[in-house]
Structure 1
Amino acid sequence: MGTSFNEQFDQHGVWRREFALRLKLLGEWLKDHDILDSAVEERLRRLEGQMRSDKVMVAFVAEFSRGKSELINAIFFAGYKRRIMPASAGRTTMCPTELGYDPEVPPCLRLLPIETRLQTQPLMEWRMVPEKWHRVDLDVNDPAQLAQAFEKVSEVRRVTIAEARALGFWHEESPEDNPIPGADGLVEVPNWRHALINIAHPLLKQGLVILDTPGLNAIGAEPELTVNLIPQAHAVVFILAADTGVTKSDLAIWREHLIAEDTHADSRLVVLNKIDTMWDALSTPAQVQAQIERQRRTTAEILGLQEQQVIPVSGQKGLVAKVNSNIELLRASNLPALEQALAHGVLDQRQKILRASVASNISELRTEATRVLGIRRRDLAEQMVELKGLRGKNTSVIKHMRARIEQEQAEFDASGAKIHAVRSVHLKLLRDVFGLLGTSTLKTEMAELTSALRTPGLKLGVRKAYARTFDRLREGLRQAEKVSGEIQTMLTGTFRQLNAEYGFSLQAPREPDLARYERDLDLVERSHNQYLGVSNALKLAQPEFADRLVRALATRLRVIYESALGEVELWNKSAAAQLDAQLRERRRNFGRRLEAIDRIRQAATGLDDRIAEIRSQEAALDELDAKLAELTAHLTSTPMSNRDAQEAAEPELKTA
């Protein structure tokens, strides 16, 4: 049946761990050979952190009763030989639920009370206050205890219509979506706002995050889920019932929350679940299959997808088949086809992105490390020319040579003020960039947007308010890019001047690509605009709802701006580290040259010995350069995907 998503994700985890190990050992090798300046070290640290902490989020989105939780059980938890997520009749996920793994947190289920919706803090801020969450400890070795604990995500409470309205579950303008009042006039709402499950499941340990979302009513009431979590998922699995196809509420979820023109086509999958309801004893298998294919074509046409993006499955039969090791039933459930599509759409794309990032960073790391070796090689060449010129010369000539080196050293030391002045101008311009990309800028913009949304009446002009905010943010990014360009021009000119005056080999590092963060802003704006349709106009008239939406926006923008700042900081560090390294090497070189002169004055054989030493050092540098090229090339080549990779990596690097 091909490689399952679980198996491919396992291989993805092995690849990441092996790569992170090689990076760590490369860092140790660079340090052992004194090639690790602060810029190289920072680049290594970031790359290793990116590899070790990289997450892959798969969001499962559906209306109620589409078999979503059962599908999650079948794909990820069949190894427990029973249901783990609540999926029996009348028991369903009522609040957004994230399953992941954090080694710093013991196995537990954390539940955020629904009444936190009455406050304005976004989910990201609530995550920072664990004492506000209800916690249930988990025993990962006891499937029955896990399943019992997970049933809490399906808990509801009965509240008055006024309370339901305040919590965002009752809307006068769309009565068809409201919960049905009981005889006592009370309605059911979820007991919890959000759930976090932390368990050491093999896939979760390797960086998989599963987002299980409830139906349309709950999605629409939680802006952060709609504009942050779902758009940032690496894959979205949208689940429909095979017998009903695309209903009105299904289409509302798709159009308002899931259409994303900028995402990779394979990252949006539609599942026609419960195909077993179409298995009819009165129809031949061919007739049943023809019905399923018809529904598949119709669904693809309605949603504007390629037919291969719509996958008919039976999550329930797939789970039964896996639990009972029934190959025929597993094939009939078509679950392996969905796992294959997930593996291709999620992991292939994720690896391409990671490898592109790796290739770019390793290339720059190699350039910076090679530059350090180049400085040493140039200094040795200068010394060689100097020493060969002393052959056959008398003591007075050698003494004159020492005086000349001392004079060069004094002139070089005096140049420190000039280099300091260059750095001062550089830092002043950098402060302008940091100001444009700093948290205070974001806070100001979010405060202005909040103020605009609090104006009385319906928010028919809400799109304009958002558009103005994003226009200002984009202009700020362009201004930061302009100042960065000025810094780059200044660095290039200054480095060229220093190279000419002092024989340095400085090269301005690659300018940060701030334009891509502007593209990120465009994506965020589009995901918010999807949410600002007429259907949400009345919700936006409620100040507390508008506040939650702005706070959700601020959370996502903060990530973008922090990433941009990080890139600027690395660029600055790379430029400063080059200068520091060349200053340090030049000072060492003066010391070595003076030491060589003194040795030659004291012993007639000192000159030939010193020339032989330099030749030996040049050969050692050539070996280091070759080894550096080999190690960095190995990191960017296709890595091993078996479990022996880690064992193979360590001795190879340790013997380098």
Structure 2
Amino acid sequence: MSFNQEFDQHGVWRRQFALRLRLLSEWLTDHDLMEPGIRERLDQLHEQVRNDKIMVAFVAEFSRGKSELINAVFFAGYGRRIMPASAGRTTMCPTELGYDADIPPCLRLLPIETRLQAKSLLDWRNAPEKWERIDLDVNDPEQLAQAIQKVAEVRKVTKAEATALGFWNDELPEDNPMPGPDGMIEVPKWRHALINMAHPLLKQGLVILDTPGLNAIGAEPELTVSLLPQAHAVVFILAADTGVTKSDLGIWRQHLSVLGEGNESRLVVLNKIDTMWDALSSPEQVQLQIASQRTDAADILGLSPRQVLAVSAQKGLLAKVNRDKKLLKASKLMELETALGVDLLGQRRAILRSAVATGIQALRLETSRLVHTRARDLVEQVQELEGLRGKNDGVIKQMRLRIEQEQAEFDASGAKIQAVRSVHLRLLKDLFALLGHTHLKIEVAELTKALKQPGVKLGVRRAYGKTFERLREGLVQTERLAGEIQSMLEGSFKGLNAEYGFSLQAPPQPKLARFYRDLELIEKSHVQYLSLGNALRLAQPEFAERLARALMSRLRVVFETAVNEVELWNKSAAAQLDAQLRERRRNFGRRIEAVSRIQQAAGGLNERIRELQALQAELNLADAKLAELTEHLLSAKEEETAEATAA
């Protein structure tokens, strides 16, 4: 199955899940079960699946056929090239292709001069007015390709300007571009490009990151310390005839091999195998040469041979456009697509479904608890009313007084419940302070100061180590505080359950272990700039400033995600308590109403008991239906495969 087909299948599953979630939501509303905590769970599940993105980053030195490979895999349906892929330099700035339904199809370009200002790329994303925008007609391939050609634009600047922008360093002559006859330096016109278009794959959540060559990557640290580490898969393109060159190895070692703990999400593509198709060599000899290049590349890069694939993007694109099955097979493009589909999407879908399953189980538990609370209250009411059979008006009146007294005592207990909440909120405030933006800035201040000091940064490695040690210690304190809150919740809920007959259960404590891994990954991606080879680049004030901003942007995302998890935990506990308080108050109202009806009519007792028994039967059915609907959400039915194939 090709990458496109696999992604279609993934999209079908997401659409089916959204439909089933909507049906569950409507059913919960119809049965008066849509409590705030349950709605919060539903909204989280919906957002989790709707906004799930899969980013595939394509990385290569210049002239490796990277943009042609993107055209062949994703845009062959247009019958022509969409990404610029002519000879020489093509993509001159990092380019993201994705889809946002709230924005019309367009190309947005961030001027290269923004590097001179003290803002990160993340900050610039929130300033759309600073980007040049070009509307796209996705139904006109010619207009689309012509507009996207702008990502290849360059401009000429003086050496002083090139130095300020990060493209020239007198201390690193081998990394500098070749000046023109007039002494001017050619640099990219744009710093970053965002393409928003309703391509079928992009609509389903795919994000493609097309990166420029080594010189441009090195000059934009935010790309390597923020964007690339967030990619779910990295496709590294080499030329089949040359294998791993020195500059290829430089990109791999400095920017790719440090992205994570393992290389499972890396695919290496030996492109342009058609240059090895030799009329003087037999097909078997050609295949042996290609196999040898694959083995050598895998050994040099420290990968499994199965992660190195040999293709011809140009022939693959041509074959798709002309529907030439024989040429498509020879290009081996489908082998790459299968690897992307099976490895990337298979892993991603498994992770997403696991997370979704956890959310559904929590939703089921919370809703079942509410159903069981109501069922228990109904049983108690029926027993209470059954005890009134044959009793006179005085006994019935006495029961009403007892219920009203219970209600008054329960209302008076609000101060005790409020005290529990006050302690909880005080501890929670301390926890949020540890994860807050102000605390983060304080922890990173020493490192930021070390990065901004002039000249060679002798103590910066130590500053990095101390900073990340403090950040990890902050997470340890956060976990410890979360544990105290969890113990307090469990104790408080146990007391409330015993005193008021509630069925409260403290939600699971948020798991912060993955944020330790995020910190480790961020530190690892930054340490690459602390090597002796990068000392001169790091000595440039502009570069160090960009590195500091990139670090803060990335850390802010990590800590904001942690805050969101803690908030969900807090809301789940609070919503559960609120729901049971509301149910208890409703229960008092129903009991008083029932006694009033019995006092007013002789047949009211039997009628009310029958009503309650009917409600019991409805709740039993609701409990069974809830299990069915949530199980339907959890199931991975094969119907999605059939629908994807039909589509």
TM-score of the alignment, normalized to the shorter chain, above 0.5: yes
| Paired residues of 1:242 and 1:275 also in contact (CA < 8 A) | yes
> Where does residue 137 of structure 1 map in the other structure?
135
Give secondary structure in 1 for the equivalent of 2:167: coil
Q: Tell me how far 1:263 sits from its aligned partner.
A: 5.6
> Where does residue 186 of structure 1 map in the other structure?
184
Aligned residue identity for 1:130: P
> Where does residue 555 of structure 2 map in the other structure?
557
Distance 2:115 2:451 in 1: 19
Deviations 1:358-377 (A, max 9, x none): 01010001111111111101
Give secondary structure in 1 for the equivalent of 2:447: helix
| Paired residues of 1:67 and 1:315 also in contact (CA < 8 A) | yes
Identity of aligned residues (%): 70
Q: How do 1:42-441 and structure 2 match up within 5 A?
A: 42-260=40-258, 262=260, 265-441=263-439
Give secondary structure in 2 for the equivalent of 1:185: coil
Distance 2:292 2:624 in 1: 61
Q: Tell me how far 1:515 sits from its aligned partner.
A: 2.5
Q: 1:468 to 1:366 in 2, by over 3 A?
A: same
Distance 1:21 1:563 in 2: 27
Moved more, 438-447 or 70-79: 438-447
Aligned residue identity for 1:303: L
Q: Tell me how far 1:37 sits from its aligned partner.
A: 1.4
Distance 1:588 1:606 in 2: 20
| Paired residues of 2:164 and 2:542 also in contact (CA < 8 A) | no
Q: Tell me how far 1:461 sits from its aligned partner.
A: 2.6
Q: 1:252 to 1:644 in 2, by over 3 A?
A: closer
> Where does residue 618 of structure 1 map in the other structure?
616
Give secondary structure in 2 for the equivalent of 1:322: helix
Match of 1:505 among 493, 503, 506: 503
| Paired residues of 2:62 and 2:88 also in contact (CA < 8 A) | no
Distance 1:265 1:356 in 2: 22
> Where does residue 474 of structure 2 map in the other structure?
476
Distance 1:276 1:286 in 2: 14
Deviations 1:44-65 (A, max 9, x none): 1111012111111110000001
Deviations 1:256-288 (A, max 9, x none): 111147466442000000001110010000000
Deviations 1:8-62 (A, max 9, x none): 1111111112212221221221122111111111111111012111111110000
| Paired residues of 2:62 and 2:89 also in contact (CA < 8 A) | no
Distance 1:57 1:263 in 2: 18
Distance 1:134 1:517 in 2: 36
Distance 2:591 2:135 in 1: 67
Match of 1:491 among 481, 489, 492: 489
| Paired residues of 1:239 and 1:273 also in contact (CA < 8 A) | yes
Aligned residue identity for 1:232: Q
Aligned residue identity for 2:299: E
| Paired residues of 2:446 and 2:463 also in contact (CA < 8 A) | no
Distance 2:525 2:13 in 1: 32
TM-score (norm 2): 0.97
Give secondary structure in 2 for the equivalent of 1:641: helix
Deviations 1:371-429 (A, max 9, x none): 11111011111112212222222222222222211111111111011111111111111
Aligned residue identity for 2:531: G
> Where does residue 640 of structure 2 map in the other structure?
641
Aligned residue identity for 1:127: R
Deviations 1:434-483 (A, max 9, x none): 11111111222333321122234312332221111111111112111111
Aligned residue identity for 2:191: R
Aligned residue identity for 1:570: L
> Where does residue 538 of structure 1 map in the other structure?
536
| Paired residues of 2:109 and 2:194 also in contact (CA < 8 A) | yes
Q: Which structure 1 residue ranges, 5 or more long, are not aligned?
A: 646-656
Q: Tell me how far 1:91 sits from its aligned partner.
A: 4.6
Distance 2:541 2:446 in 1: 14
Moved more, 599-608 or 99-108: 599-608
Q: Tell me how far 1:490 sits from its aligned partner.
A: 0.8
Give secondary structure in 2 for the equivalent of 1:419: helix
TM-score (norm 1): 0.96
Distance 1:143 1:600 in 2: 76
Distance 1:230 1:345 in 2: 18
| Paired residues of 1:37 and 1:581 also in contact (CA < 8 A) | yes
> Where does residue 625 of structure 2 map in the other structure?
627
Distance 2:316 2:262 in 1: 27
- Aligned CA-pair RMSD: 1.6
| Paired residues of 1:38 and 1:573 also in contact (CA < 8 A) | no
Distance 2:5 2:244 in 1: 32
| Paired residues of 1:14 and 1:643 also in contact (CA < 8 A) | no
Match of 1:29 among 24, 27, 32: 27
Q: 1:204 to 1:397 in 2, by over 3 A?
A: same
| Paired residues of 2:53 and 2:205 also in contact (CA < 8 A) | yes
Moved more, 571-580 or 229-238: 571-580
Distance 2:262 2:592 in 1: 62
Q: Tell me how far 1:592 sits from its aligned partner.
A: 1.3
Moved more, 166-175 or 313-322: 166-175
Q: Tell me how far 1:130 sits from its aligned partner.
A: 1.8
Distance 1:290 1:616 in 2: 77
> Where does residue 652 of structure 1 map in the other structure?
none
Count of residue pairs brought into register by the alignment: 644
Moved more, 551-560 or 238-247: 551-560
Q: Tell me how far 1:609 sits from its aligned partner.
A: 2.0
Distance 1:444 1:193 in 2: 30
Give secondary structure in 2 for the equivalent of 1:391: coil
Give secondary structure in 1 for the equivalent of 2:327: helix
Q: Tell me how far 1:253 sits from its aligned partner.
A: 0.6
Deviations 1:546-602 (A, max 9, x none): 121121112111221111111111111111111111111111111111222222233
Q: Which structure 2 residue ranges, 5 or more long, are not aligned?
A: none
Q: Tell me how far 1:607 sits from its aligned partner.
A: 2.1
